[in-house]
Structure 1
Amino acid sequence: MHPLVVAAAALVVVAALPYALFGVLYAAIRPSGSPADKREAEPTVSIVLPTYNEERIVEKKLDDLLELDYPMEKVELVVVDSSDDATRDIIRDYFADLDAPDLTLIEEDERRGLAPALNEAYEAAENEMVVKTDCDSYLPDDVLREAAANLADPAVAAVTGRNVEVLGGSGVEEGYRGIQAYIQTLEAHLDSTFIFHGPFSAFENDALVPIDPSSLADDTELALRIRRTSGKRVIFDPAVQYKEASHSGFVKRRTQKDRRGMGLIRLLVQHRDALGRYGKYGRVVLPFNWWFMIVSPWVVALSVVGVTAAALVTVDMPGLLVPAALVTFVYLGQRDSLGPFAPLYSLFDTQVSLARAAVELLRGDYDATWDVDEELREAYE
């Protein structure tokens, strides 16, 4: 057998083996729901809402928050705003005649980035449970009660949830979030999950710690630091839900997905000393995420190159059908036209983002501010 064929086959096996092992572990444990000892609870709540030029959607977000099934006299809203449009005026007018919830509006004259803004907002939050949510997301009525039930477990300090409806109709993101929910459910049942989601995450106020002002993955970094400093678990509960918009188009997804990938890779590298520590979090969860986010993208890329080269060597020009099939796969995937193979494409798409993110990090081409995606904003109007 030609050495290139052997090498290509070996790369494919190496690329697939960790995912196969994950599947075996999932089948053995059969995790479902939250790992917390959930109990009815009604703590006071501080909702932290960072805003930047949200005049098109902020009023709908405030409507969304006030419609939550929770006593508003127990809720305060902490808004940290760095807008140069009418966002803060809309917020002030909205709360002018409301008795509850209380509003704390932190006005920033200079846009410093999300992490410094969140540090200031978390410091201002006074209530027992601190919830972080984004302006471009929607929440179901029961989300605060579900989060509070998780945090009522003395062993749990933070909880995040899943995107149950991808606004804008992105089948690619819907497929990825479905796979991600399986991964995070298993992680939480093993110990703690790694990724926390900006649309909704909840934390014990006493567990909050400052995050790196240059962080590109603020919610995940806060959860990781809490797991390291408090000794408590930071978990995923599929009953804690939210809605967020996303693109399917390959090019349009890159800005959104690549930056997220940059933040997660950078965080894993910064906290590499956590590997092997903190129980199964450092022995299983973090190593799997190192593989998925840092190693696997390059093994997948090498596998594509290796399989193409092996095909060309063994069957000559017909071997070009391999890259042609990949192009077709991407073309159909970004158009949500792969049917049952859509989740596989969503994984591939994520690996592309992670590879691109690693290159951008090595080049030092990043900053800690988000650009507003005006096209995605249309999904919230």
Structure 2
Amino acid sequence: MKRLVEALFGLVALTGLPYLIYLGVYYLRRPSGTPADTWPDEPSVSVVLPTYNESSIVESKLEELTELDYPMEKVEIVVVDSSDDGTADLVETFFAGRPEPELTLIREDERRGLATALNEAYAAADNEVVVKTDCDSRLAPDAVRKAVANLADPNVSGVTGRNAEVIGDSEVERGYRDLQTMIQILESHIDSTLIFHGPFSAFERDAIVPIDEDSIADDTELALKIRRNGGRVIFDPDIHYKEAAHSAFGKRREQKDRRAMGLLRLLWRQRDALGSHGAYGRVVLPFNWWFMIVSPWLVATGVALATLGSLAVLGPFGLATPAGVLAFTALGSRDMLGPLQPLYSLFDTQISLFRASVSLLRARAEGDEETHDGTWSPDRELREVLQ
């Protein structure tokens, strides 16, 4: 029993140590603001918008894009569409008679996956800066201006922004995004950040390279490849967007697990980047490997050891430990933990990463690693809050 307790405490210490080191570095450096704040001339911008059955929200998204605080004569909207609900027709109607911005509409005959669609759209984009956004997100009016300000730095080739407001009032998602913001601010000041966000990412057109056709972490994959080619890719907390998100545990699982699976698979495929590319490979990537791959297994093992230990000491009363974990999860998924809510947000992320890693390992054992084709289904419930 003593050895079990020692193992549990050792496991907790091992799990938490990298996070404590990170917090120490953060408070020593106290990074703040945009990593690159040069205000350049206004370069031409192509805004890439992938759509699939977005007829209920595409017009409001296009209204937003045409009202951005940026000269529309310098903007091209590239819509790549594989819908069967008339989304492409709505796009054409919206731009009929508008002299600007320019529209490039790519109609796909069949769904081939998001990554394939994005590769086609990026190849069609003509302008100096390429912005990628999602239909189910909302951008601050100055998002593009702040992005091109970052890209004016000759060392910066990509920039992403911050989810400043969670549509749908999800405390779980908000708590995780606040934690992620801290991580990405420090990463950007050290070198480059890892995760790029689908609602808003911007790249130098000449830095863009093709992404894997089966990618389910397309924005992050493009950023990682750009960093490997020598350009910095950064997070700017002053670039704001909004994204809808669920709080309910069950509803969050598909969305979070899919994202987690994409990131884990990407880290594994790009594992040779560890230790290379300056502080990105020596600091940023190792921390993300710990957070996404190692830590979730340690958390799961810790819960298992705590359960076994309490059962060994307390007998049937030891079931209070797993019951407590379940209660913590139930309350957290309902945004009912008060000051402990951010802790649950972190725990929720570790659950998704653990589930995703188990799914990937199972698929590999079955010889079926590449089962995901990169397509996605619109979340009708979340879209209702955007209408």
- TM score, norm. by length of structure 1: 0.98
**C-alpha separation in 2, matches of 1:361 and 1:311:** 31
Considering only aligned residues, what root-mean-square deviation do their CA atoms show, in Å? 1.0
3-state secondary structure, aligned to 1:316: helix
> Which residue of the partner structure matches residue 327 of structure 1?
326
**Aligned-pair distance for 1:371?**
1.3
Q: Which amino acid aligns with 2:154?
A: P
* 8 Å contact from structure 1 (residues 52, 87) kept in 2: yes
> Which residue of the partner structure matches residue 31 of structure 2?
31
> Which residue of the partner structure matches residue 162 of structure 2?
162
Question: 1:126-180 CA deviation, whole Å, 9 max, x = no partner?
Answer: 1011000000000111011100110011110000011011001111001000000
3-state secondary structure, aligned to 1:380: coil
Aligned length: 380
> Which residue of the partner structure matches residue 370 of structure 1?
376
**Aligned-pair distance for 1:356?**
1.1
**C-alpha separation in 1, matches of 2:269 and 2:356:** 15
> Which residue of the partner structure matches residue 202 of structure 1?
202
3-state secondary structure, aligned to 1:258: helix
**Aligned-pair distance for 1:264?**
0.4
User: Is 2:149 aligned against 1:140?
Assistant: no
* 8 Å contact from structure 1 (residues 170, 248) kept in 2: yes
Alignment of 1:1-381 (within 5 A): 2-229=2-229, 231-362=230-361, 363=363, 364=369, 365-381=371-387
**C-alpha separation in 2, matches of 1:301 and 1:352:** 8
Question: 1:291-314 CA deviation, whole Å, 9 max, x = no partner?
Answer: 111111110000001112122223
**C-alpha separation in 1, matches of 2:294 and 2:340:** 23
Q: Which amino acid aligns with 2:262?
A: G
**C-alpha separation in 2, matches of 1:33 and 1:348:** 28
**C-alpha separation in 2, matches of 1:24 and 1:121:** 42
**Aligned-pair distance for 1:321?**
1.6
**C-alpha separation in 2, matches of 1:154 and 1:109:** 39
**C-alpha separation in 2, matches of 1:188 and 1:211:** 22
* 8 Å contact from structure 1 (residues 187, 193) kept in 2: yes
Higher alpha-carbon deviation: 297-306 or 308-317? 308-317
Higher alpha-carbon deviation: 12-21 or 217-226? 12-21
3-state secondary structure, aligned to 2:158: strand
Q: Which amino acid aligns with 1:279?
A: G
Long gaps (5+) in structure 1: none
**Aligned-pair distance for 1:367?**
3.0
* 8 Å contact from structure 1 (residues 80, 118) kept in 2: yes
Q: Which amino acid aligns with 2:166?
A: V
3-state secondary structure, aligned to 1:48: strand
Q: Which amino acid aligns with 2:205?
A: N
Q: Which amino acid aligns with 2:9?
A: A
Q: Percent identity?
A: 64
**Aligned-pair distance for 1:36?**
1.6
Question: 1:208-240 CA deviation, whole Å, 9 max, x = no partner?
Answer: 1111111110000000000111x1210000001
Long gaps (5+) in structure 2: 364-368
- TM score, norm. by length of structure 2: 0.96
**C-alpha separation in 1, matches of 2:372 and 2:306:** 33
**Aligned-pair distance for 1:40?**
3.6
Deviation beyond 6 Å, 4+ runs, structure 1: none
